[in-house]
Each structure stands twice: as structure tokens, then as C-alpha cells.
Amino acid sequence: MKTKTLLFISTILLFTSCAVIRPGEAGVKMTLGKFSGDVATQGTIFYNPITSKVIKESTQTNNIKLILNLPSKEGLSVKSEISILYRLEQNKIPSVLENLGRDYESIITSVFRSASSDVCAQFFAKDMHSGMRATIEEEIKSKMKVNLEKQADGIQLIAVLMKSIQLPRGLANSIERKLQAEQDAMRMEFVIQQEKLEADRKIINAKGERDAQKILSEGLTKEIIKIRSIEAFNKLSESNNSKIIITDGKTPFLIETEE
């Protein structure tokens, strides 16, 4: 009976002193409140449940989502949905847990709030809604990285993404009107340019016709007209149809007659 009891207790202790580390996780053994420097991945860790326990953390990319009102240079409040992408560096997980504890995401959030306030206050609200957004995101990320490294090394920031920017209604309407005015101005400039090109084309055509007429009039001398008249008489004489030709000796006037 005692043997069975001991076997049963041993079996329970065996299973309760075993931790399974799955893919995408890392395990750190903590004994009497002190973290081990060894980090285990994908396997089984045996430990003494009386004095030790295994802390498991994700090594995959994690996403912290926030909705914040960010300050702008002109003192406006811009509402934005934020995503902070980060991952824990596997070999430095014990350092992160020792310095920040398991609630390190709240530290990341606090660091972001401070960094975003400092950075966004240097930009106008419209910049957060334009091509400057990528610059703002990168500056926030850089400032966060510096602040986090002061507290604990081992959190790798991948990206800070500002999504769903909502400008104050008055400013949004103002920007829309400005964009519309710019589009109208570009459209009008295009129309003016097209009309100018059309006017230039007409001027060129008119000039060409004028030059052609001038050249033609200058080329029609009396001698050329006489030669053309003789050529016309010759062609008429070769025709089998009967015709009446009225002429003053210089130019013919032709009247066809039916046979």
C-alpha cells in the first residue's frame, strides 16, 4: 500500500515538475526568485515545483494596440489608432523579466506615450495625415528604443504604426477645401495650357496658309499663266468630245456640248 502511494505521489510530482515549451515560446527557470541565465526553446524543462517554476514568454512578433489623442504643434488633439510591433530577444528574456517583470507591455505603452507626445508636438496636425506620417512613426520608434534601452535591453521594436488618423473636424474640412482648390487650380492650368496650344496651332496654320498664298501669288507671273493656257488648249484639242471654246487668246473658257 505504501509503495503504491509513493508511486502515485512520485508520478504526480513528475508531471507537475515538467514544463513543455512550444514553438514560438521560450522558457526561463526561476529558482527561489532568481532567474536562470539559460533560455530553453521547444522542449521539456524539468524543475523542482517546491523551489522553482518556469516562466514562458512568446518570442514571436507581438502587437500592442492603442487608441490615443496625440498633441500637435498648433495645440490640437489628433485621435489615432496605434500599433506597436515588438518581439523579445530570446537570449535576453531573463534580463527583461528581471528588470521589467512580466508586465513589460505596460512599460512599452508608457514609453510610447512619452515618446509620441514629444515627437508629435513638433509636427502640425496635417503632417500626421500626409506623407510626413512615416517620418513621425520612425522618430517615435527611435525615441522609444533609446528610452527602453535605459530600462532593459532585450525588447526589439519592429515598427510603430499610426493608423486611422482622425483630424479635428474643422481642420479636416479645411484640408479638404485646400486639396479641392489645388485640384481645381491644376485642372484650370491644364485647360489654359490646352487652349494656348490650340491657339498656337491656329496661328501656325494661318501663317502657313498665308505664306502659301504669298508664294503662289508671287509665282503666278504672266509667262506662267500663258504657258498654262497653252497646255490647257493642247489637252482640249486631244479630246474626242465636241466643245466650244471661248477665249481672248490668253485664257480659255470651256463649254461642253453633247454629241
pLDDT tens by residue, 11-23: 544 445 777 788 8
CA distance 213 to 219: 10
Give bridge partners of residue 66 from the DSSP assignment: 82
pLDDT at 100: 86
CA distance 254 to 231: 14
Per residue in 106-155, pLDDT (tens digit) is 999 999 999 998 998 898 887 887 778 889 999 999 999 998 888 878 89
Asked whether 112 and 154 are in contact (CB, 8 A), the reply is: no
Q: Which three cell numbers stand for residue 11?
A: 508520478
Enumerate domains of the chain plus CATH numbers: 2-57 (no CATH), 62-172 (3.30.479.30), 222-256 (no CATH)
Contacts for 233 with CB less than 8 Å, ≥ 6 apart: 245, 247, 252
> Mean pLDDT in the chain?
76
pLDDT of 158 > 90? The answer is: yes
CA distance 106 to 96: 13
